[in-house]
C-alpha cells in the first residue's frame, strides 16, 4: 500500500489532457471544496445524478459530503477534475475510490459534468484512477452502475473491463478487471514515485 502525506494533498495532483488538449487537473478534494462540490452535484442533470448515486438525489446528504471532503479516512479517497473556465477553477468531474487491503481491490465511481461529456475527460480520469490503484498494489478494480447507464458502461468496456451481475441487485451491473502494475511501470510519474518510495520504505523496515 502507498504511504501518503495527507497533510500535504496538493503534491498528489496530476495534470491530464482532454481529447482536444485542454488542461485538466485531478486533485484530492479538500474541506474548502465542500460548497463547490455540492454545487457541482446540483448542476448535474437529473439523469446524471441518478446514475451517479444509483438512485434519486438532488445533492449529497451532509454526512456523505463530509466523507467526500475528508480524504483518506478508512482508505477512502475523493478527487475532482478541474479546468480553468473563464479564469476560474471549475469542477468538471469527480471520482471516489476505496482500497480494501484484504482483497487488494479498489472500488470506484465517477461522474463528468454533462456540459463536458464527450471531451475524453472520463477516459483520462479513469486512467488516472488506475495509476492511483497501482500505487496501492491493487490487483483488481471494480465498480457498480445501473444497467441503464450507457455512458459508464461504454467507458468501462472501452477501457477493458468485463461485466458481471452485481450481487443482490438486478438493476445494476458490475464492471471489473484484474490489475497489477509494478511500481516502475506505473504510467503516471507522480504515482510511480509514490509507489516506489513506499516500496523503499517497506524494504527498510522489514
For the record, the C-alpha cell of 32 comes out as: 474548502
Determine the Cα–Cα distance for residues 29 and 95; give it in Å rounded to an integer: 10
Torsion of CA 194, 196, 199, 201, to 10 degrees: -70
Tabulate helix, strand, coil % of the chain (nearest 5): 40, 30, 30
Which parts of the chain sit beneath pLDDT 50? 1, 200-206
Return the pLDDT at 66.
Answer: 94
Return the pLDDT at 3.
Answer: 54
Q: Transcribe 50-105 into DSSP letters.
A: HHHHTS--SS--HHHHHHHHSTTGGGEEEEEEEEEETTEEEEEEEEEEEEETTTTE
Return the pLDDT at 203.
Answer: 39
Amino acid at each position: 500500500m502507498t504511504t501518503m502525506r495527507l497533510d500535504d494533498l496538493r503534491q498528489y495532483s496530476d495534470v491530464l489532457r482532454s481529447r482536444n488538449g485542454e488542461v485538466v487537473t485531478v486533485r484530492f478534494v479538500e474541506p474548502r471544496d465542500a460548497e463547490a462540490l455540492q454545487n457541482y452535484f446540483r448542476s448535474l442533470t437529473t439523469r446524471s445524478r441518478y446514475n451517479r448515486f444509483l438512485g434519486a438525489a438532488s445533492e449529497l446528504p451532509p454526512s456523505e459530503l463530509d466523507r467526500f471532503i475528508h480524504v483518506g479516512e478508512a482508505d477512502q479517497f475523493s478527487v475532482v477534475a478541474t479546468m480553468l473556465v473563464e479564469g476560474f477553477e471549475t469542477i468538471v468531474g469527480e471520482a471516489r475510490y476505496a482500497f480494501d487491503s484484504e482483497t487488494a481491490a479498489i472500488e470506484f465511481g465517477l461522474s463528468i459534468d454533462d456540459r463536458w461529456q464527450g471531451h475524453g475527460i472520463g477516459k483520462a480520469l479513469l486512467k488516472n484512477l488506475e495509476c492511483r490503484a497501482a500505487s496501492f498494489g491493487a490487483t483488481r478494480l471494480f465498480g457498480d452502475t445501473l444497467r441503464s447507464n450507457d455512458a459508464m458502461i461504454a467507458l468501462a468496456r472501452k477501457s477493458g473491463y468485463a461485466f458481471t451481475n452485481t450481487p443482490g441487485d438486478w438493476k445494476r451491473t458490475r464492471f471489473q478487471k484484474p490489475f497489477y502494475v509494478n511500481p516502475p511501470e506505473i504510467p503516471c510519474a507522480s504515482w510511480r514515485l509514490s509507489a516506489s518510495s513506499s516500496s523503499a520504505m517497506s524494504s527498510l523496515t522489514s
